[in-house]
Structure 1
Amino acid sequence: MNEYLVVSITFLSIGVLLFIAGKRQIVSDKFCIPLFLSSFIFIGFYGVKVIREFIIPLVGFGDKKNSLLFYDYGNGLLGLLPLALAILFIGKHLVKMGYDEQWSGTTNFNLPSLKYGIIGGIVLAAIPLMIVAATGQKFNYKVDFYRYGINCITNFYEEIICRGLLLACCVKYWSRLSAVVWTSVVFGLAHGLNENSISIALAACLIAWVILKAKSLWAGWTTHQLTDMIVDTFLP
């Protein structure tokens, strides 16, 4: 965890310096803005883990409510909320990008969002299910509405943080392919520096593609949510 903190602070420091340099026209925005946002995301995820240890005792809730608000299934109902709001604020007031543009097109949940989201979710969920079936393992069918509900909120935060402003800026300053690859790497690393980072990053490539195809962040949220629901229902 300490090594992750050092890496996060290092990237944040570099990102801030490049952001200032960009404002002074020392380096191009197309280089410094995506890197600054990525650095901010890394330190933000780590900050959530550290700061909540100080906030929770001050709030004085019981263990069950603390889990609901700050820990369960992706940092609970409130864990990632400050970081998501910070990203929206940075996009609106520092990068000067409206919410529709941050959403890759529109903040409305429309038919393309639903269509591409469902397609993406089915494809992503099918991969681990087929792997389990091919290896002869048994499915563990379990309906957990509590987990579905928490994921519904935390997945929304994660989409805003990793594929909202960051994806829109990468598309604006880089190519679409570079935007998909880079945001997917950030999403994978944001889930921890471990062997699962690669598989998460690969899955994130499809989610980013779905968002760009539907021109709405809601398509990514739909894919994310549907994938989690199917996998959580059938796999241990």
Structure 2
Amino acid sequence: MNAYLAESIACLSVGILVFVVGRMRLIYNTLYIPLVLSSFIFIGFYGVAVSREFVIPFLGFSNKVNRLLFYDYGNGLIGLLPLALAILFIGKYLLNIDYNQQWSGTTHFNLASLKYGMIGGIVLAAIPLLIAASMGQKFNYKVDVYRYGLNCVTNLYEEIICRGLLLACCIKYWNRLAAVVWTSVVFGLAHGLTEKSIPIALGAGLIAWAVLKAKSLWAGWTTHQLTDMIVDTFLP
């Protein structure tokens, strides 16, 4: 709890500093908007982890319901929903970036989303499986419908937050390579500063590639979902 609180205060301080400097026109939108948006995302992630400890006891739900709504497999069914909605509305009403643009082209799930999403998901899932196999690990599959179902929702929230508006803004003000690198770093750090941050960030680069190739955030969701399903099935 204290670590999350410290990180939240640090991210908030950076966000306020960048906002103030940007409003003073000491830096231009090229840096101002992507950095403020990134700070807002970090504040949101850490804010969810901190605030739910105070909010959940007042709701009076059972532990099972609390885990379903706020904790299991990526902050539950509604843990990240407020942050995802905030990102969508900030893009639409403050930055005048419509939902299709935030989705990197279209909000419709099309054949390209499925194609590039499956390519990305299979490649991304194969890496940890090959590493595990090279270390002599034997695979025992386990089907977990509950986990798959929750991931369908939580993975969409994460895509909207880390590869929706942020990716669109980085491409607008920077370039594709910088956008992929930066959003991947944000995605890796959003999962916590651990030994897994770098592998997660590298994997996020492939997810961003799928989004840009398909011109739809649904390709990122497909990659994310397929990767989780395969890995969770064989490496529970």
Normalising by structure 2, we get a TM-score of 0.95
Secondary structure, aligned partner of 2:154: helix
1:63-117 Cα distance to aligned partner (Å, 9 max, x none):
1111101111011001000110111111111111111111111111111111000
CA contact (8 A) 1:207 1:224 kept: yes
Q: Map 1:156-235 to 2 at 5 A.
A: 156-235=156-235
Instruction: Assess, with a 3 A threshold, how the Cα gap between structure 1 residues 4 and 69 changes in structure 2: closer, same or farther.
Output: closer
Q: Within 2, Cα distance between the matches of 1:92 and 1:13?
A: 25
Q: Does 1:137 align with 2:119?
A: no
For 2:76, the aligned partner's letter is: G
1:32-89 Cα distance to aligned partner (Å, 9 max, x none):
1111111111111111111111221111111111110111101100100011011111
Cα RMSD (Å) = 1.4
Match of 1:50 in 2: 50
Listed as ranges, the gaps of 5+ residues in structure 2 are: none
Q: Within 1, Cα distance between the matches of 2:107 and 2:20?
A: 30
CA contact (8 A) 1:8 1:39 kept: no
Secondary structure, aligned partner of 2:109: coil
Moved more, 210-219 or 47-56: 47-56
Listed as ranges, the gaps of 5+ residues in structure 1 are: none
Q: Quote the offset at 1:139 in angstroms.
A: 0.7
CA contact (8 A) 2:8 2:47 kept: no
Q: Within 2, Cα distance between the matches of 1:216 and 1:151?
A: 19
Match of 2:148 in 1: 148
How many residue pairs get aligned? The number is 236
Q: Quote the offset at 1:27 in angstroms.
A: 2.0
Q: Within 1, Cα distance between the matches of 2:145 and 2:29?
A: 44
Q: Quote the offset at 1:5 in angstroms.
A: 3.4
CA contact (8 A) 1:69 1:75 kept: yes
Q: Within 2, Cα distance between the matches of 1:165 and 1:102?
A: 5
Q: Quote the offset at 1:3 in angstroms.
A: 4.4
Normalising by structure 1, we get a TM-score of 0.95
Paired-residue identity, %: 75
Match of 1:96 in 2: 96
Q: Within 1, Cα distance between the matches of 2:8 and 2:62?
A: 31
Moved more, 177-186 or 24-33: 24-33
Q: Within 1, Cα distance between the matches of 2:182 and 2:114?
A: 25
CA contact (8 A) 1:12 1:36 kept: no
Secondary structure, aligned partner of 1:77: coil
CA contact (8 A) 2:162 2:183 kept: yes
Q: Does 1:121 align with 2:124?
A: no
Q: Within 2, Cα distance between the matches of 1:6 and 1:62?
A: 29
Match of 1:13 in 2: 13
